[in-house]
Amino acid sequence: MGRKTDITLLDEKGIRCDGRKIDQTRNITIKAGILKNADGSAYIEFGGNKIIAGVYGPRDIHPKHLADSDTGVLRCRYHMQPFSVPERKNPAPSRREIEISKVIKESLQPAVILDDFPRTAIDLYLEVLQADGGSRCAAIDAASVALADAGIPMRDMVSACAAGKVENTIVLDVNNEEDQAGQADMPVALMPHLEKITLVQLDGMLTPDEYKKCLETAIIGCKQVYEIQRSALKAKYENGG
Amino acid sequence: MANKTIIEQLKREQILDLLQEGKRIDGRALDEPRSISIETGIISNAEGSARVKLGDTEVVTGVKIHPDKPFPDVGDKGIFICTAEILPIADPTAELGPPNENVIELARVVDRGIRETGMIDLTKLVIKENKSVVGLFVDNSVINVDGNLFDACSYASVAALLTCMIPKYELQDDQPVQIEGEKSKPPVNTIPVSVTMARIGEHIIVDPNSDEWACMNARITITTNSDENICALQKGGSDGFTFEQLIKCSELAISTGSKIRKQLEAVA
């Protein structure tokens, strides 16, 4: 946050550094069912983010002591490839990746009906091939499609999008430059039909009014993402699964 | 959490029954944090230190200060790093070994709250730009667990930072050397206050204790600064919040936070 930059983040016409308007998301494309071996999968391009989500399960859980006799267990690993960022990333899981894996898992748990599968695990793997700011939201969007593609019963989809503050203006879908040099970044995940927010984080500085506006803006973004997720799933089955 | 015990299930029912009547299991109001006690200057080998009790949750925190190389992309700022560890004496379920995801989240949320408010003016901790800066290392050791480690570690970190004394350094032959006898108070911009709330059923409670923590649906930690702006958020737990609940939480974080901030200001 708040790093110096030479880029004009927002010009006087309200156009952002990548040519978008303040209420516009980057280009998003999602494809369901792209992995042969996985029970469910999805590929997302969200701006410059390129992420594959793969789901295995419900299946036997290892190590066995993690089994829960009341419910299934959702496990999640968010993992960046060493080549996904400008400076090579050490392939071992970083503390950031471990935290993101946890918040992504907790954003999806409310939607997945785990009680139907006691003593089993649903393993969700999120492989970031290229990262471009907002990768946790893009990963959630792909994950939700992959879970549905795996036929796992869900209460709702989970759709995620960030909002933030740039040049004292609330903007939708913060990109990498805006994340580095902007004033706030707030990733949000929403179950669009149940109207429940399952992920919210923030770094930056917002007044109470801006906080409200930022949440509202992110929710609008989530609803746009939902439509894209829905068409991705429909497209797979219309094309014969 | 694997295998909820029968006792936890019974407690959840009792906690929910009480909340229907607007009461909590330990008699507090829904928006009432536990009493906070703060002692500072308890570790003479640390440049700053604090012992904070939030109810029965207890944390000892030390600030160690030494010169370091700046991060390559921010050569004009000092270093601030905050960690947390749950010691094996703190709880029967605490485990030795590498930190698990809960401990990593704890440390990162406490760090983010303090960092994003800009509590310490890191630009004033530069010995020579791009070459040598002062590093503040804040390490939280949890010694007893009774829920809500986020706020306890945050208050202890802030109290230890407010009372730390920073040695003066200068470069001699390109090496930072400490100047004996010259120490200064830290450059403080604002006082961050973290407030953690849990949703149990449709009720929002401030500062959940471990019984409440074990049966909550979801939680949120909100850090505000002295101007009562919102600077950091972290939702956790296996369920969500409605938009209205999130707005209510932000209001609670500001109103509760302003009372706690007075207590933190008093230690400086």
Name the CATH topology of B15-265: Ribosomal Protein S5; domain 2 (3.30.230)
**Residue A168: pLDDT over 70:** yes
**Residue A5: pLDDT over 80:** no
- A98/B73 CB distance under 8 A: no
pLDDT digits (tens, 9 = 90+) for B119-140: 999 999 999 999 999 999 999 9
* Separation CA B63–CA B161 (nearest Å): 7
Nearest beta carbon to residue B242 from set A95, A195, A201: A195
What mean pLDDT do residues A159-164 have?
Answer: 98
Residue in A239, A107, A232 with CA at minimum distance from that of residue B220: A107
pTM: 0.92
Average per-residue pLDDT for chain A = 95
**Residue B74: pLDDT over 80:** yes
User: How would residue B1 be classed by pLDDT, with cut points 50, 70 and 90?
Assistant: very low
What mean pLDDT do residues B61-68 have?
Answer: 97
DSSP class of B227:
T
Which candidate in B243, B245, B250 is best for mutational testing of the A interface (most A CBs within 10 A)?
B243
CATH class of A28-238: alpha beta
User: Residue for token digits 């590929």?
Assistant: A43
**Residue A241: pLDDT over 60:** no
pLDDT digits (tens, 9 = 90+) for A177-233: 999 999 999 999 999 999 999 999 999 999 999 999 999 999 999 999 999 999 999
User: How would residue A2 be classed by pLDDT, with cut points 50, 70 and 90?
Assistant: low
Q: Is A85 exposed, middle or buried (0-12, 13-18, 19+ CB in 10 A)?
A: middle
pLDDT digits (tens, 9 = 90+) for A89-138: 999 999 999 999 999 999 999 999 999 999 999 999 999 999 999 999 99
Q: What is residue A165's predicted lDDT score, i.e. its pLDDT? A: 97
Q: What is residue B2's predicted lDDT score, i.e. its pLDDT? A: 41
* Residue % of chain A over a pLDDT of 90: 93
Which ipTM was obtained for this model? 0.88
Segments making up each domain of chain A, as ranges: 28-238
- B251/A195 CB distance under 8 A: no
By a Cβ cutoff of 8 Å, what residues of chain B touch chain A?
2-4, 73-74, 101-102, 104-105, 107-108, 112, 115-118, 220, 225, 228-243, 246-247, 250-251, 254
- A204/B239 CB distance under 8 A: no
Torsion on CA atoms A58, A60, A66, A72, rounded to nearest 10: 20
**Residue A37: pLDDT over 60:** yes
pLDDT digits (tens, 9 = 90+) for B167-179: 999 999 999 999 9
**Residue B244: pLDDT over 70:** yes
Q: What is residue A207's predicted lDDT score, i.e. its pLDDT? A: 97
Residue A153 · residue B202 · CB < 8 Å: no
User: How would residue A47 be classed by pLDDT, with cut points 50, 70 and 90?
Assistant: very high
CA pseudo-torsion sign A210, A216, A220, A226? positive
**Residue B148: pLDDT over 90:** yes
Average per-residue pLDDT for chain B = 95
Number of inter-chain CB pairs under 8 A, A vs B: 106
Q: Is A136 exposed, middle or buried (0-12, 13-18, 19+ CB in 10 A)?
A: buried
* Residue % of chain B over a pLDDT of 70: 99
Closest Cα of chain B to A204: distance in Å? 5
* Separation CA A80–CA A132 (nearest Å): 11
Query: What's phi and psi for B199, nearest 5 deg?
Result: -105, 120
Nearest beta carbon to residue A199 from set B116, B235, B251: B235
**Residue B25: pLDDT over 70:** yes
3-state secondary structure B30-57: CCCCCCEEEEECCCCCCCEEEEEEECCE
